[in-house]
Chain A
Amino acid sequence: DAKTTQPPSMDCAEGRAANLPCNHSTISGNEYVYWYRQIHSQGPQYIIHGLKNNETNEMASLIITEDRKSSTLILPHATLRDTAVYYCIVRPISSGSARQLTFGSGTQLTVLP
C-alpha cells in the first residue's frame, strides 16, 4: 500500500476551518484515500473516503488533487470536540485476502478556544 505523509501536529481556532494535508505521492490508480480520526482512548472513527473526485459528507470535505498525489481534509467549522489524531490512509479498492488499514503517525489536531 502507498505510504502517506502528514504533519505531526496542527492547531486551529474554534469555529474556523481546519485544513489537514496529506501527501501520498506514490498512490496508484486503484487506491482510495481514507480519513479516520481517533479521540484519546477511543476507537478510530471513520470520517470520509474518496478515489479521485472531491467528496463531502456531514462531517467533512475531502479535496483530492488532480494528480491524486495529495489531499486535504477540511473540517468546515472546527469545535473543541474535533481535537483528535487524524489519520490519512491509502487502501486498494480490493485488497484481496487482506483488507487491512495501514496507519501512520497521523496529525494531532488541537482546536483552541
Chain B
Amino acid sequence: ETGVTQSPTHLIKTRGQQVTLRCSSQSGHNTVSWYQQALGQGPQFIFQYYREEENGRGNFPPRFSGLQFPNYSSELNVNALELDDSALYLCASSARTGSGNTIYFGEGSWLTVV
C-alpha cells in the first residue's frame, strides 16, 4: 500500500479530445510527478510539481499540463489527444525531506486513444 491512488483506472478517448487524470497522494508528500509508460517500455518522466508549481519537465509537449492542489491531490491534463498518447499514466509522490527520499507510485491510469 503506497498511499497513492489514481483515477480512473481505465478510459477510452477519441483522437483530438482532452483528458484529465487524477491522483491523490499521502499526507505530507508535497512532491508529485507524472510518468507515461507505453506498452513494453519503462516509465518516462513527464513533469514534477512541488508546492503547486511545476519544477521539472521531461521531453513532453505543452499539451501535457498539470496541477497540484494543497490537499495533496494533483491532475494530469492532456489536450488534443493523439493515438501515441495511449499508455499507462503513473502518478508518483514523495516527501521532500532529507536525502534518499523514496518515491511511491500509484497503480496508474490506462488511457486508450482511438
Contacts and interface: CB of A to CB of B under 8 A. Distances in A.
Nearest to B104: A46
Interface string A23-46: 000000000100010000111111
Interface stretch (A11-19, A60-68, A75-83, A97-105): A97-105
Nearest to B96: A99
B3 to A, nearest CB: 12
Chain A contact patch, size range: 20 to 34
B42 A87 contact: yes
A44 B88 CA distance: 11
A97 B100 contact: no
Given A43-B90, A99-B33, A32 B100 contact: yes
Interface string B79-94: 0000000001010101
Contacts of A102: 45
A46 to B, nearest CB: 5
Contact of A100 (B41, B42, B48): B48
A98 B103 contact: no
Interface string A91-109: 0011101111111111000
B108 to A, nearest CB: 5
Interface of B: 2, 4, 31, 33, 41-45, 48, 50, 55-58, 88, 90, 92, 94, 96, 99-108, 110
Return the 3 tightest CB-CB contacts between A and B, nearest first: A98-B56, A103-B42, A43-B105
Given A41-B110, A103-B43, 15 more contacts: A42-B107, A43-B107, A46-B2, A46-B103, A49-B102, A87-B42, A93-B100, A95-B56, A97-B50, A97-B55, A98-B48, A98-B56, A99-B103, A101-B43, A104-B42
